[in-house]
């Protein structure tokens, strides 16, 4: 379901990320408001690196990374933070802060911020973390910490429209029931506000169930940009070297059952 008037939010044009001993890219991607994209690929393929390039956390060597047509590096941190939030993979927070302070940090670019209490409370509710208020962040379990961090980025974009949310494996540490609940919460959050959502995921069914497009990453390259439907299954099989059996869901979405096996052609066909 796309918004009626979509505007281009983010574009990578020939962007390359260099880490010691390796380079990722060049990546060419474009993203508009209201779009939901899942980044999939084997471990170490460069999913998180692609996300960091889009976040401006890694400089784009060669090529460019644009947000609303301006180079990411030229955006003042404070203004960018008012329209774009990033949820990194690691959740460590120093100094034993209480949950509500951690979530409130998402609002720091807006001081003074009359919406603070409202946004923090709403975000905690949406991320199923309202019961954790008053607890120290560093005493929470991994799954609870993940929810609080999710609440922090929701609070950051609580009262804006047409922003961008970049998340790196937001549901990895959660039990299955909560995964469904939080994915629904995340989707309705971005849908009602017209935000674009880009998520690095490991779970194929989450990607197929809740996203519009799939970006497949392999060996540091973007090898495919597909709609999240039945047509994505063959490329996914080749990407992971597995067999997928398709199950049709009630809502028109497809779900898959992954099995060990050799797909007809290996991943090399995709990379070529």
Is residue 102 close enough to count as binding another protein by CB under 8 A? Answer: yes
Measure the CA–CA gap between 72 and 53, rounded to whole angstroms: 9
Residue choice 3, 18, 23, 57 for contact with another protein (CB under 8 A): 57
Residue choice 108, 246, 269, 271 for contact with another protein (CB under 8 A): 108
Q: Near another protein by CB under 8 A, which window of 90-98, 206-214, 241-249, 255-263?
A: 90-98
- As measured in angstroms, the least distance from the Cβ of 264 to another protein is 41
Is residue 92 close enough to count as binding another protein by CB under 8 A? Answer: yes
Under a CB-based contact definition with an 8 Å cutoff, are residues 50 and 24 in contact?
Answer: yes
Is residue 100 close enough to count as binding another protein by CB under 8 A? Answer: yes
- Rounded to 5°, the CA angle 141-41-255 comes to 80
Nearest of 190, 212, 269, 192 to residue 236 by alpha carbon: 269
DSSP H/E element including 223? strand 221-227
Residue choice 1, 4, 21, 94 for contact with another protein (CB under 8 A): 94
Is residue 247 close enough to count as binding another protein by CB under 8 A? Answer: no
Is residue 117 close enough to count as binding another protein by CB under 8 A? Answer: yes
Q: For 16-56, what is the HEC assignment?
A: EEEECCEEEEEEEEEEECCCEEEEECCCCCCHHHHHHHHHC
Residue 246, classified by CB atoms within 10 Å of its CB into exposed (0-12), middle (13-18) or buried (19+), is exposed
Which residues make up the interface to another protein (CB under 8 A)? Answer: 52, 55, 57, 76-82, 84-86, 88, 90, 92-98, 100-106, 108-109, 111-113, 116-117, 120-121, 124, 133-134, 136, 138, 152, 156
């Amino acid at each position: 379901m796309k918004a009626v008037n979509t505007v281009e939010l983010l574009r990578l044009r020939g962007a390359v990320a260099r880490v010691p001993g390796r380079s990722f890219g060049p990546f060419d991607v474009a993203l508009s408001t209201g779009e939901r994209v899942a980044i999939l690929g084997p471990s170490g393929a460069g999913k998180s690196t692609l996300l960091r390039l889009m976040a401006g956390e890694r400089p784009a060597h060669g090529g460019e990374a644009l947000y609303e047509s301006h180079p990411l590096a030229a955006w003042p941190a404070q203004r960018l933070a008012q329209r774009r939030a990033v949820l990194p993979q690691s959740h460590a927070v120093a100094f034993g802060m209480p949950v509500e302070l951690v979530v409130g940090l998402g609002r720091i670019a807006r001081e003074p911020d009359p919406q603070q209490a409202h946004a923090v409370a709403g975000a905690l509710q949406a991320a199923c973390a309202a019961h954790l208020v008053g607890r120290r962040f560093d005493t929470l379990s991994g799954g609870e910490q993940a929810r609080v961090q999710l609440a922090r980025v929701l609070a950051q974009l609580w009262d804006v429209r047409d922003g961008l949310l970049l998340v790196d494996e937001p549901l990895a540490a959660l039990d299955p029931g909560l995964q469904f609940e939080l994915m629904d919460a995340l989707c309705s959050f971005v849908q009602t506000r017209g935000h674009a959502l880009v998520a690095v995921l490991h779970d194929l069914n989450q990607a197929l169930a809740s996203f519009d497009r799939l970006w497949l990453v392999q060996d540091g390259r973007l090898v495919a940009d597909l709609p999240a439907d039945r047509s994505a299954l063959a490329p996914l099989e080749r990407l992971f070297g597995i067999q997928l059996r398709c199950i049709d869901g009630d809502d028109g979405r497809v779900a898959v059952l992954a099995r060990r096996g050799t797909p007809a052609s290996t991943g090399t066909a995709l990379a070529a």
